[in-house]
Chain A
């Protein structure tokens, strides 16, 4: 309909008529050549579609994998520390205001940041009572580490040496409330075991806790007794203060650098706020830590500005690994794309070889080389499009499953991957029609004579 209307409105009806006839003939030829041989169509669609599927699956997996790998680095724990700025502080034992956490958590970051707060101090520890035969032990100095609730960075960084059964805590709520985890070195030297009740003492302050777990980290945490931040605040008489914030900044190396810079900037902007407590905070902390107003002033004097420090061991090691891993992924995807192109090329050569007779006939009845070629290219593009649409969709679905197999989490389908792989398939199909160039040399006469 469209074609005939345009033909009618045209000033040169004869040319337009011929054009429209040509066009419908063109499409008819293509339709025929595509659908005439069902078996061949199936083989070519399979080859092209498989190529498209592999491309789509791998592209999607690759886009996803780079992101996931940076997520996997999470198991290394913190890679950035926020510590008291020592540069312009004369005091040995500078502390951070707990409000640092709010500054860290606020503000836009391009990457995921999670973290935990820590407060370290010295205390004396002794065993008050043991589960069975254990007796009281003499007091000995130990480093007490106060952890924020449910430290997200700790999982996987240690091996549990001893663990009290869950049921023990269920039946004894007191044990659950004041639990502590003991580092393996402390447990070995002092012969502490799970469910022992320990007494931690700092001057007049005393806190009792039951050992829930003995953990081996291989780092200085092995020499510490871990309690809740709240317990550490009261025991060490430092309410409202923390020693450092451990952060895990995920993302590519550039994103990590960027996050560190913006974090430092935000902390510097708020430095005046962080160097003191507000009157309200001071009153609250004094009550919660059971401290006098003067003692609170002493804590306040120890507050200092914050400095963001990358743990180079991890930031640099991770950057290096990230580079290598994404290099491997890119290389393999490039290799697979080349293969896919080969696959399609082989299929298209097949078509060209089969079509000698057709081309001979077309040329004999007056088809120019360009028009014959155009028909073949259109056919290739159509096949590429069809196979690409189907194959890429299949590939995306496959990649979701593959992502699950590799990373344990289903890969998110990236919508950008779909059009890209369809386009790639079409381009490859057209490029693969390159062998058709040989059709130009076909001489109709020799075809009809049955010569090679």
Chain B
């Protein structure tokens, strides 16, 4: 009888139910969209923050102190220490390997450059001092587990713009800094002769012109292997930039790992703080000194925390508004049925039975409306996510659960007061139409 009453009600007044269900599912759709977007936004934004470039830098521990002013290193040539290139694949074997987005080793060599193709008016052939930066443009690094990791300077420094294309990592090619190219009147396709000692010359074809907005504009970028050959440092590099996804640092993260007890140390190293990633990198790269580029790392944490808080706030507000909308419509649907309630009571139904009946109806509605709303909300979240980040957020079952619980809670809350009143109705005046 109980089920029949409910089924009958849905069948008999489909239009009224449809309206309430529509309000419910729209409200829940918005709630779903807001929840999916804000659950996802932390990770997405963290990726966006990587457009600011590397947040970790690795240098040889035993290196001499760089004497660099305005991009020119005043250290004597060949002074200092280097790190082996062969160790690099190990970076992807640390605990946080999935958080490491890109890395690029560099090796700088002071050299002479000469080009027969120069278009500078003053002289036909130009002899210019140039700092050559050897690096990986876009390299496939084979990993121990058989997979291949694509990385290079174009990934760690995404703001770099190249006119033309990057060099092949094993070819005799180079990319000219924009100011260097301008000063010497060089273009893409020209040949540049470089030499570190002035005797043996190496011909490089310029495949692109780099505009970085910083000191690299005055340099020439070459494949790492060529820089190694010129510097007579086969298989070595001097500086490594690592771009890693991190968790904003809190007070706990700033503590010195040496002062922690084993439990704390485990908790610390199991959180992707920039300092714990630095620590694990140091362990796989012997003889290295891993430093956090504070400028990049700290701003990120601050802004990310703020934006996240803001979004949760907005999500909370939209959940509240959804709750109000749904509550109001379910309250309306209960008030409307005073006559029916009166009749049921007159026929001997207890307050409990009437309340149960109405609550069951509302819950059924919440379930249906919540599911439809979840589907609609996913579409909306997809739209918003694609519009802003170019990637739709992954649908999450957690959100479905939250939305269903929310829908049920909200409809019950919204109808609680009218239901309570309905349970106390005296059937006689209602049936008389008063």
Which residues from chain A sit less than 8 Å from chain B, CB to CB?
43, 46-47, 50-51, 54, 57-58, 61, 65, 68-69, 72-73, 75-77, 86, 120-122, 140-143, 156-159, 184-186, 188-190, 216-220, 222-223, 243, 309-318, 320-321, 324-325, 327-329, 331-333, 335-336, 338-340, 342-343, 345-347, 349-350, 353-354, 402, 405-407
Contacts and interface: CB of A to CB of B under 8 A. Distances in A.
A159 B294 contact: yes
Given A157-B295, A320-B48, A329-B310, 13 more contacts: A51-B321, A54-B317, A57-B317, A122-B67, A141-B65, A143-B66, A143-B68, A190-B65, A310-B213, A321-B45, A335-B33, A343-B324, A349-B332
Interface stretch (B185-193, B279-287, B298-306): B298-306
B311 A69 contact: no
Contacts of B294: 156-159, 216-219
Contacts of A121: 69
B181 interface: no
Interface stretch (B51-59, B259-267, B401-409): B51-59
A219 B74 contact: no
Contacts of A156: 294, 298-299, 302
A342 B24 CA distance: 10
Given A219-B293, A223-B67, A332 B214 contact: no
Nearest to B414: A346
If over half of B's interface residues share one DSSP class (helix, strand or loop), that class is named, otherwise mixed; here it is helix
B27 A342 contact: yes
Interface in B31-86: 33-34, 37-38, 41, 44-45, 48-49, 51-53, 56-57, 59, 64-70, 74
B218 to A, nearest CB: 8
Nearest to B433: A450
A342 B159 contact: no
A76 B296 contact: yes
A312 B157 CA distance: 10
A47 B332 contact: no
Interface stretch (B96-104, B110-118, B223-231, B382-390): B382-390
A402 B254 CA distance: 28
A317 B68 contact: no
Given A142-B65, A223-B68, A328 B41 contact: yes
A435 to B, nearest CB: 9
Contacts of B48: 320-321, 324
A255 B430 CA distance: 68
25 contacts: A46-B324, A69-B307, A77-B295, A141-B67, A143-B69, A156-B294, A156-B299, A156-B302, A158-B294, A189-B65, A190-B65, A218-B293, A219-B294, A219-B295, A220-B66, A222-B291, A313-B159, A313-B213, A317-B51, A324-B45, A332-B37, A339-B30, A346-B23, A349-B332, A406-B313
A217 B27 CA distance: 48
A158 B179 CA distance: 31
Contacts of A216: 291-292, 294
Interface residues of B, number: 76
B185 to A, nearest CB: 14
B384 to A, nearest CB: 5
Contact of B74 (A73, A141, A333, A407): A141
A122 B74 contact: yes
A186 B65 contact: yes
Nearest to B319: A339
A321 B69 contact: no
Contacts of B297: 218
A342 B23 contact: yes
B303 A58 contact: no
A393 B15 CA distance: 37
A394 to B, nearest CB: 13
Contacts of A332: 34, 37-38, 311, 314-315, 318
A350 B332 contact: yes
B375 to A, nearest CB: 16
A442 to B, nearest CB: 15
Contact of A76 (B52, B326, B384, B387): B52
B148 interface: no
B347 to A, nearest CB: 20
A347 B387 CA distance: 32
A336 B298 contact: no
A43 B213 contact: no
A353 B332 contact: yes
A338 B57 CA distance: 47
B26 to A, nearest CB: 5
Contact of B309 (A69, A122, A406): A406
Nearest to B278: A218
B30 A343 contact: no
Nearest to B68: A220
Nearest to A55: B321
A185 B53 CA distance: 22
A343 B295 contact: no
B328 interface: yes
B322 interface: yes
A312 B321 contact: no
B170 interface: no
5 shortest A-B CB distances, which residue pairs?
Answer: A312-B213, A218-B293, A317-B52, A343-B325, A75-B299
Nearest to B44: A324
A190 B214 CA distance: 29
**Which residue, of A54, A190, A343, A347, has the highest number of chain B Cβ atoms within 10 A?**
A343
A342 to B, nearest CB: 5
A216 B361 CA distance: 64
B65 A43 contact: no
A364 to B, nearest CB: 18
B89 to A, nearest CB: 24
Interface string B136-160: 0000000000000000000001011
Nearest to A186: B65
Contact of B329 (A58, A158, A346, A354): A346
A432 to B, nearest CB: 11
Given A312-B212, A317-B51, A184 B291 contact: yes
B204 to A, nearest CB: 24
A339 B318 contact: yes
Interface string B327-353: 011011001100000000000000000
Contact of A314 (B52, B64, B313, B315): B52
A343 B329 CA distance: 8
Nearest to B295: A157
